[in-house]
Amino acid sequence: MTAISVLLYSNDRSVRDAVRLGVGDRPSPDVTIERWHECATPEAVQTQVQGGGYDLLILDGEAQPFGGMGISRQLKNEIFECPPILVLTGRPVDGWLATWSQADAAVSRPLDPEKLSSAVSELAGR
């Protein structure tokens, strides 16, 4: 059993709620989410990630005024041993942006609980 700590970024509370409800506390039989930490600003994300202690970051690519894809790219370039990042994209065709962001995985809207759980479980195994 793998217990993970997840940082979730979106300026939109409804997106954060949808992700937490979609993933749940047990995204797969062998992965448990021990702790969720929510951030609504890029500054809070930066501070939390620099402090360490997260196994996975979920970043909303559609967040305003700073999207999660830009934050992902910045973290991957600035944080030594940055945790795996899952970005939430606006559309399936935005996969190329997720690649540019150096994210480890992407899930597009509309958010599907099965795809979210699968991506979280896969990244937790890394």
Tell me the average pLDDT across 73-93: 96
Query: Is pTM, for the whole model, over 0.85?
Result: yes
Residue 125 has pLDDT above 90, yes or no: no
The predicted-structure confidence for 31-47, as pLDDT tens digits, reads as follows 999 999 999 999 999 99
Which range marks the domain in which residue 40 is found?
A: 2-124
Distances (CA, A) of 89 to 36, 61, 93, 99: 20, 5, 9, 11
Confidence tier at 16 by pLDDT (50, 70, 90): very high
Give residue for tokens 């606006």: 90
Residue 95 has pLDDT above 90, yes or no: no
The length of the chain, given as a count of residues? 126
Count of domains in the chain? 1
Largest interatomic CA distance in the chain: 37
| CATH number, domain with residue 89 | 3.40.50.2300
Reference 55, options 33, 29, 79, 27; nearest CA is 33
Contact by Cβ (8 Å): 71, 84: no
Contact by Cβ (8 Å): 71, 9: yes
Confidence tier at 119 by pLDDT (50, 70, 90): very high
In DSSP terms, which residues pair with 89 in a beta bridge?
108
Q: Is 6 left (phi over 0), alpha (psi -120 to 50) or beta?
A: beta
For residues 96, 62, 92, 2, the Cα torsion angle rounded to the nearest 10 degrees is 90
Contact by Cβ (8 Å): 59, 71: yes
